[in-house]
């Protein structure tokens, strides 16, 4: 891994991964290609351990010539592909951009990698790898008694977001089968931690609770997600790109499956402890049940035996310790939160799409 192209490195998981990779691989050069959509910010990358080994390129993964130039100039041997539209709610309000970025963007990246690593094989660097970062949502929804998703579970996506990610997974596998492109895929459950844009459940609840605003739970709040602290996800990806078998898929998850209501109550409990004199105490009084998300998947759970047995990875953080770290980070980074929300026009987006709140 001399020259690593990270796509979407200005987003939540990507920026945490770049920091993680810099710490693990002092020799690697990292090129971050990011379009700086509402979800990406250079504010996420101001504290890199080795800025001299990092290059930022503002650009779109749908643009062949931009990616081609990066491969040419930097002799890319590894791609770690995060760039995507990632928010299920936004995919319901406007699916078009999800098709473009998640499907056409992944296809374009694959085409450039195929050109440089397969068609011009004799000039290609050694030990190339295209790692695709995907989601558990491709498997659809579980009933309460169903066993957790395995790597062999059939795809059954429900939302435009998960359908677009499923499509990109299929393309990545097709490039391996058809052209021999060296690929790996991880399908991961819900991440939380520092630098997550406040549209997602956990940062949204922390932000609203500290401001005394309602905590909107969709439907009955009994939906279940499998929560993973973002640094654990970064470590899992690192394990796969360094030790994972080419052509393989690995499930990644946190072995933590609270209902949405339970997780929000945990956040409220920790905030009650931190702010016993807050006018919002007890913070759980802010919980408000709102109209459900259309097509809302009921339950996700990941079977992580394969990555554990084959590569020795397992999550380090418990939900309690991870939530405390996350809450501390948001409380200490209020100016980051205001800046990214303002730059992204988040308030306006909410008003346009959720007039009822």
Q: Is 137 designated active site?
A: yes
Work out what residue 260 binds among ligand NAD, ligand DAU, none; the CB cut-off runs from 5 to 8 Å by kind: ligand DAU
Site for ligand NAD in 59-88 (CB under 6 A): 60-62, 82-84, 86
Question: How far is the C-alpha of 171 from the C-alpha of 104, rounded, in Å?
Answer: 10
Helix 201-210 × helix 260-274 angle, to 10° = 40
User: Catalytic pick from 34, 60, 77, 137?
Assistant: 137
In terms of CB distance, is 17 or 117 closer to ligand NAD? 17
Of 115, 141, 137, nearest to 128 by C-alpha is: 115
Check: CB of residue 330 under 8 Å from CB of residue 203: yes
Count the neighbouring beta carbons within 10 Å of the beta carbon of residue 318. Answer: 13
The total of other beta-carbon atoms located within 10 Å of residue 279's CB is: 6
d(Cα 83, Cα 17) in Å, to the nearest integer? 12
Verify binding: residue 284, ligand DAU, rule CB under 6 A. no
Whether 136 is catalytic is: yes
State the minimum distance, in angstroms, from the CB of residue 235 to ligand NAD.
14
Interhelix angle 319-332/201-210, nearest 10 degrees: 50
Which among ligand DAU, ligand NAD, none contacts residue 62 (Cβ within 5 to 8 A by kind)? Answer: ligand NAD
Q: Is 331 helix (H, G, I), strand (E, B) or coil?
A: helix
Give SS3 for 24: helix
By CB under 6 A, is residue 206 in contact with ligand DAU? no
Nearer to ligand DAU, 32 or 158 (CB): 158
Q: What is the pattern of x (binds ligand DAU, CB under 6 A) and - over residues 107-136? A: ----------------------------xx
* Chain positions contacting ligand DAU, by CB under 6 A: 86-88, 135-137, 189-190, 200-201, 204, 216-218, 223, 225, 260, 293, 300
For the annotated catalytic residues, the residue numbers are 136-137, 161
């Amino acid at each position: 891994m001399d020259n690593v192209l990270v796509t979407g490195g200005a987003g939540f998981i990507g920026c945490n991964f770049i920091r993680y990779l810099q710490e693990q691989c002092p020799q690697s050069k990292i090129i971050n290609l990011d379009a700086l959509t509402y979800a990406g910010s250079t504010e996420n990358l101001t504290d890199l351990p080795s800025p001299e080994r990092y290059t930022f390129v503002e650009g779109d993964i749908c643009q062949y010539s931009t990616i081609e130039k990066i491969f040419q100039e930097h002799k890319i041997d590894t791609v770690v592909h995060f760039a995507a539209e990632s928010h299920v709610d936004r995919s319901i309000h406007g699916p078009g951009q999800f098709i473009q970025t998640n499907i056409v963007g992944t296809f374009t990246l694959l085409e450039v990698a195929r050109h440089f690593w397969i068609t011009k094989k004799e000039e290609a660097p050694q030990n190339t790898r295209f790692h695709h970062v995907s989601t558990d949502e491709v498997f659809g929804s579980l009933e309460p008694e169903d066993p957790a998703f395995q790597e062999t579970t059939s795809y059954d996506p429900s939302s435009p977001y998960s359908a677009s990610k499923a499509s990109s997974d299929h393309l990545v596998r097709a490039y391996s089968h058809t052209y021999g492109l060296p690929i790996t895929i991880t399908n991961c459950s819900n991440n939380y931690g520092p630098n997550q844009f406040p549209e997602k459940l956990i940062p949204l609840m922390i932000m609203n609770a500290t401001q005394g605003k309602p905590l909107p739970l969709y439907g009955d709040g009994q939906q279940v997600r499998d929560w993973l602290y973002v640094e654990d996800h970064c470590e899992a990806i690192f394990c796969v790109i360094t030790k994972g078998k080419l052509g393989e898929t690995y499930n990644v998850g946190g072995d933590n499956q609270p209902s949405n209501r339970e997780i929000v109550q945990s956040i409220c409990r920790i905030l009650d402890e931190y702010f016993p004199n807050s006018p919002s105490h007890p913070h759980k009084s802010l919980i408000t049940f709102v109209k459900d998300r259309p097509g809302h998947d009921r339950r996700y759970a990941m079977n992580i035996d394969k990555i554990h047995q084959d590569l020795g990875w397992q999550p380090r953080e418990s939900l309690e310790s991870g939530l405390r770290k996350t809450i501390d980070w948001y409380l200490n980074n209020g100016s980051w939160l205001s800046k990214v929300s303002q730059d992204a026009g988040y308030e306006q987006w909410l008003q346009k799409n959720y007039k009822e709140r």
